């Protein structure tokens, strides 16, 4: 009798699955609509997400996180579905952000600026920027921001565009912490003293490893770098070459397109500033989360000007470094 009841119950749930999907997680029943299931399946297929069986706790948990995040994105038109939708804010921060950048300091959200004429600069269009890369599950954003700055400096000052090795910095720049985070100024000092080899010579592995520079040439270096803390100085610097900057990217987990401004001033991510447009009032930033993130791997941050005050969006002007040769 018990067996017959169990079979009947199983068949009943199977039929119910045509219109809704019932899953159990931590003793709580969660119901997903048919449209939600289609959206979830599309997300998994698009980003090649793999989980355990459909009725497993892990997938149920990830589905709940996904739809909680989806609700959050509805608050901002620049947000939407990204590959990070199945991660909580805490998980995202632990995997992709840089704890070494979290230095307590007072940061002005607005700074004085004055333009006598329109300024439009895009170093991607000028050919000074290598293709967007993907740091993966390694907190090595600082190494990507650093190599991007050195690549741009070599383009501007030597008319060459090398594709430089982030893994060399992760493995060999021991004053930083590899995938555990690092500071871009320390990395730039390392480049000044040691030089960098290419990605082809020292390929990226997205994990900490032993330094394997022996027998490799490190021809790409810099003479120094200028530290920048003001937006007016950053506007001047970006007109000369790409600049490595630090930003608060906590909410960028869900960025899809447009000019973003929904962020705080707690710097936790290293990126490369590659452009500025005073007409559109936007900074153009090269990220390291792959070309499918944002607008082809790029992010546009608000540079809105009001009464000769420019938005220091995500603290972009606060901790920037401009390498030179």
pTM to 2 decimal places: 0.88
Confidence of residue 104 (pLDDT cuts 50, 70, 90): low
Whichever domain contains 128, its CATH number is 3.90.70.10
Rg (CA), the chain: 23
Pairing of strands 259-260, 298-302: parallel
Shared domain for 40 and 101, answered yes or no, is no
- Whether residue 54 is found in the same domain as residue 196: no
Which of 43, 74, 105 terminates a domain? The answer is 74
pLDDT of residue 107: 76
Within a domain: 84: no
Indicate whether 139 and 205 sit together in one domain: yes
Residues 48 and 106 in one domain: no
Domain assignment present for residue 230? The answer is yes
User: How would you class 54 by CB atoms within 10 Å of its CB: exposed for 0-12, middle for 13-18, buried for 19 or more?
Assistant: middle
282 and 161 inside one domain: yes
Same domain, residue pair 48 and 102: no
Q: Are residues 278 and 305 in the same domain?
A: yes
- Evaluate whether residue 132 is within a structural domain: yes
Residue 146 lies in a domain: yes
Count of domains forming the chain: 2
pLDDT at 176 over 90: yes
Residues 6+ apart with CB under 8 A from 24: 30, 55, 57, 60
Q: Assess whether 109 and 181 both reside in one domain.
A: yes
Is the distance from CB of 311 to CB of 261 less than 8 angstroms? Answer: yes
Q: Minimal CA–CA distance to 281: which of 258, 315, 253? A: 258
Domain that holds residue 12: 2-74
Answer whether residue 82 is part of any domain: no
Residues 106 and 65 placed together within one structural domain of the fold:
no
Whether 97 and 61 map to the same domain: the answer is no
Q: Which of 11, 42, 74 is the last residue of a domain?
A: 74
Q: Sign of the C-alpha dihedral, residues 261, 264, 265, 271?
A: negative
Enzyme catalytic residues? 141, 269, 287
pLDDT in tens, 115-168: 778 999 999 999 999 999 999 999 999 999 999 999 999 999 999 999 999 999
Tens digits of residue pLDDT in 28-56 = 436 889 999 999 999 999 999 988 765 57
Q: Flag whether 167 is in a domain.
A: yes
The answer to whether residue 8 scores a pLDDT higher than 70 is no
| 289 and 171 in a common domain | yes
- Banded pLDDT at 215 (limits 50, 70, 90): confident
In a domain, 83, yes or no: no
Helix, strand, or coil here: 206?
Answer: coil
Q: Does 202 share its domain with 171?
A: yes
Q: Is residue 233 part of a domain?
A: yes
Judge whether residue 6 has pLDDT over 70: no
DSSP 257-290: SSEE----S---EEEEEEEEETTTTEEEEE-SB-
């Amino acid at each position: 009798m018990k067996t017959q009841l169990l079979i009947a119950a199983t068949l009943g749930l199977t039929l119910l699955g045509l219109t809704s999907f019932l899953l159990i997680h931590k003793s709580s029943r969660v119901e997903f609509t048919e449209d939600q299931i289609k959206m979830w399946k599309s997300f998994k297929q698009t980003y090649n997400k793999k989980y355990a069986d459909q009725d497993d706790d892990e997938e149920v948990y990830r589905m709940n996180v996904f739809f909680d995040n989806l609700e959050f994105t509805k608050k901002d038109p620049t947000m939407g579905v990204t590959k990070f939708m199945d991660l909580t804010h805490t998980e995202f921060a632990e995997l992709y952000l840089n704890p070494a950048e979290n230095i307590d300091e007072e940061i002005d959200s607005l700074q004085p600026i004055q333009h006598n004429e329109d300024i439009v600069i895009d170093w991607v269009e000028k050919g000074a920027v290598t293709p967007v890369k993907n740091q993966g599950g390694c907190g090595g954003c600082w190494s990507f921001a650093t190599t991007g700055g050195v690549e741009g400096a070599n383009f501007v000052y030597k008319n060459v565009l090398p594709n430089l090795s982030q893994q060399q910095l992760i493995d060999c720049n021991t004053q930083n912490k590899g995938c555990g985070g690092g500071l871009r100024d320390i990395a730039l000092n390392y480049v000044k003293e040691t030089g960098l080899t290419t990605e082809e010579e020292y390929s990226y592995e997205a994990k900490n490893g032993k330094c394997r520079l022996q027998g490799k040439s490190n021809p790409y270096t810099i003479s120094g770098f200028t530290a920048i803390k003001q937006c007016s100085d950053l506007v001047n610097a970006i007109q000369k070459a790409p600049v490595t900057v630090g930003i608060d990217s906590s909410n960028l987990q869900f960025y899809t397109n447009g000019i973003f401004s929904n962020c705080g001033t707690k710097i936790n991510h290293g990126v490369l500033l590659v452009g500025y447009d005073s007409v559109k009032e936007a900074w153009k930033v090269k990220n390291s989360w792959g070309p499918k993130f944002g607008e082809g791997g790029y992010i546009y941050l608000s540079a809105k000007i009001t009464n000769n005050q420019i938005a220091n969006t995500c603290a972009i002007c606060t901790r920037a470094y401009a390498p030179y040769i």
